[in-house]
Amino acid sequence: MKKKEFKEKYSKKTGKVPLKVKKIVNYTWIIKITIITFAISLGFSLISETIIPNVNIVLSIVLVLLFIGLGILFDIIGVSITVADLRTFNSMASKNIKGAQLAIKLIKNSEKVSSFCNDVIGDICGIISGSTSATIAVIVSSVFNINLLIVSLITTALVASMTIGGKAVGKSIAINKSDTIIFKFASFLSFFYRKK
């Protein structure tokens, strides 16, 4: 049904003209998330740029894996929050189960939570793990006297495949176990969260 036809049908049935729904843009949230992203990105970049060139190859690889794992973990949380069932947590909250109230709050703000988890943490981890892998490629190339281009291609491909593969597995887990994941996440956060 076309928009014009819907308006005419609605007007005849109710005697009212349907109101135009305005999209609300939360500029405060956009500014906040931009500043938070800048701060977190700066911190992660500082870690990757100052620590990795000064540590051995094994620790550098561990740090890259840590960034990849962190990105996958937050991607799982971000997907889980969008598909979690609010009714489950309302039932748990009625029984005063710890973490249920916080889970409800997270689900009700799922747009912001998923944006933070997927876009802020997930993307930053992806960028940092990519730049860190470039640093590792330089170290490996100089230590083992291998062509830098070959090492860079291999490390970049490995990091990308592990990140994408991990997130693909994570999304499947997030969709099937969303309530359990959000409950555990909310229970963990409840140790640090204080009601205002």
Residue 190 lies in a domain: no
Confidence grade of residue 21 (pLDDT, cut at 50, 70, 90)? very low
Query: In this predicted model, what pLDDT tens digit does every residue of 124-150 receive, in sequence order?
Result: 888 888 888 888 888 888 888 889 999
Number of domains in the chain: 1
The reply to whether 97 falls in a domain is no
User: Residue 30 domain-assigned?
Assistant: yes
Q: Is residue 196 part of a domain?
A: no
Q: Six-digit token pair at 24?
A: 């609300």
Of 15, 18, 22, 20, residue with least CA distance to 7 = 18
Please check whether residue 18 lies inside any domain of the structure: no
Q: What is the pTM of this model?
A: 0.77
Residues 6+ apart with CB under 8 A from 179: 84, 85, 88, 89
pLDDT value at residue 194: 65
Q: How far apart are CA 73 and CA 176, in angstroms?
A: 15
Q: What single DSSP character describes residue 21? A: P
- C-alpha of 106 from chain center: 14
**82: how many CB neighbours lie within 10 A of its CB?**
16
pLDDT tens column, 84-113: 999 999 999 999 888 899 999 999 999 889
Check residue 73 and give its pLDDT. Answer: 95
The percent of residues in the chain predicted with pLDDT above 70, rounded, is 84
Does residue 55 carry a pLDDT above 90?
no
Q: Which amino acid is at 11?
A: S
Residue 185 exposure: Cα atoms within 13 Å on the Cβ side: 25
In a domain, 127, yes or no: yes
Residue scoring higher pLDDT (47 or 20): 47
The answer to whether position 58 is within a domain reads yes
Query: Which structural domain, as residue segments, surrounds residue 41?
Result: 24-84+110-182
The answer to whether residue 68 scores a pLDDT higher than 70 is: yes
- Backbone angle region of 99, left / alpha / beta, with phi > 0 → left and psi within -120 to 50 → alpha: left
Classify 1 as helix, strand or coil. Answer: coil
Residue 5 has pLDDT above 70, yes or no: no
- Evaluate whether residue 12 is within a structural domain: no
Residue 159 or 28, more confident? 159
